[in-house]
Amino acid sequence: MEAVPQNIVDKFGRVHDYLRISLTERCNLRCFYCMPEEGVALRERSVFMTAEELVAIAKTFVSLGVKKIRLTGGEPLIKKNAEIIIRELGKLPIELTITTNAVVVDRYIDVMKEAGIKSINVSLDSLKEERFNDISRRNYFSKIVSNIELLLKNDFIVKVNAVIIRDVNDSELVDFVQWSKDKPVHVRFIEFMPFDGNNWDWDKKVSYKEMLEDIYNHFGEGEIQKIEPKPNDTARNFRIKGAPGTFGIISTVTNPFCDTCNRIRLTADGKIKNCLFSEDETDLLTAYRKNQPITPKILDAINAKHKELGGHEKFTNESVVLLKNRSMITIGG
């Protein structure tokens, strides 16, 4: 019998031990950088993984060396049977975590504790209510902020993800960093990235260098400490001296971190995307439903991974027009 490999490794020697699973393409927000203005076409429930299928496929990844699973969406907590999925994945020998908009997170505090979740990423793109509501096209700001406080009171590590877009929320960098100085929140500024239907433009992105300059100019270079990166970190992290929280910058567009990538994405309809920007997908769900082995498909999909940015040398307004990718909400964060 052929030995089953213990790790998922691409042709560049990168070990992939971190799986991000999208539970649903649906969301209770409508953030314009994630969901096209016209929304996304609703599809039959049968095209998506059931809770049982998702857990079974996740177990195959764990048998291949995956050590961390993050649940994403859409909004993962509005997935039917989300509670069952969280509980079942919590039984696996992995670090389990979740990215959520926190609108309904208060309903799942006990379930997440039971599953051993200790760290939660919350998407929040503005600290100003009116602006946040404009970005998200909904009015849940107060609920989200309240639920962040609830997570902190329940001793969760809370990372706040903010997509920074020029002339939209780039004026709030200092406010977010000040929040990390006052509270044990870990803010991550994310460069605006191109996806189908989000009207990305090179001039709308705020680079790593620009963000850092703005923060240094306000707080002073002597007050900011660099944090030694961990293996596979996507963010370059910092702390204001004595602060309970941290801040970091994820510079996917202007300074990508592809050399140390260890991530695999599984979409809600059961397809591997070996890179956020990859145009290629590998259908695991159909094979699983036909009782075909999915391990070879997983290994082949990751082995075919490009060195960086899904095979795109760089992003420009011209190249993005030719980019054939999903909208962000149908990929999973």
Higher pLDDT, 187 or 323: 187
Inter-residue contact 239 to 246 (CB < 8 Å):
yes
For residues 163-176, give the mean pLDDT.
95
pLDDT band at 42 (very low <50, low <70, confident <90, very high): confident
pLDDT at 143: 97
Sheet holding 246-250, edge to edge: 224-226, 236-240, 246-250, 185-191, 157-164, 119-123, 95-100, 68-72, 18-22, 263-266, 271-273, 282-283
Q: What is the DSSP string of 99-162?
A: EE--SSGGGGHHHHHHTT--EEEEE---SSHHHHHHHHTS--HHHHHHHHHHHHHTT-EEEEEE
**What's the whole-number average pLDDT of the chain?**
89
Q: Is the pLDDT of residue 80 over 80?
A: yes
pLDDT at 2: 44
Report the alpha-carbon distance of residue 101 to residue 29 in Å, rounded. 8
Inter-residue contact 165 to 204 (CB < 8 Å):
yes
**Residue 244, both tokens:** 């309970």
pLDDT at 279: 78
Q: Is the pLDDT of residue 199 over 90?
A: no
For residues 13-33, give the mean pLDDT.
91
Please state the domain extents for the chain: 18-331
pLDDT band at 306 (very low <50, low <70, confident <90, very high): confident
Q: Which of 75, 64, 78, 120 is nearest to 95 (CA)?
A: 120
Residue identified by tokens 């963010």 is: 235
pLDDT at 205: 87
Helix, strand or coil, per DSSP, at residue 28: coil
Using a 10 angstrom Cβ sphere, with 0-12 exposed, 13-18 middle and 19 or more buried, the burial of residue 203 is: exposed
Q: Kindly state the percentage of the chain with pLDDT values over 90.
A: 68
Report the alpha-carbon distance of residue 47 to residue 61 in Å, rounded. 21
Higher pLDDT, 307 or 127: 127
pLDDT at 276: 76
- Give the CATH architecture of domain 18-331: Alpha-Beta Barrel (3.20)
For residues 27-38, give the mean pLDDT.
77
**Residue 128, both tokens:** 């100003």
pTM for this entry: 0.90
List of residues 6+ apart from 296 with CB closer than 8 A: none
Composition of the chain by helix, strand, coil, percent to 5: 35, 20, 45
pLDDT in tens, 235-249: 899 999 999 999 999
Q: Is the dihedral of CA 105, 107, 109, 115 positive or negative?
A: negative
CA distances from 53 to 16, 58, 194, 286, 333 (A): 21, 8, 31, 11, 20
Inter-residue contact 77 to 105 (CB < 8 Å):
yes
**Residue 126, both tokens:** 């503005």
Instruction: Give strand ranges (E) for 168-306.
Output: 185-191, 224-226, 236-240, 246-250, 263-266, 271-273, 282-283
Residue identified by tokens 């923060």 is: 215
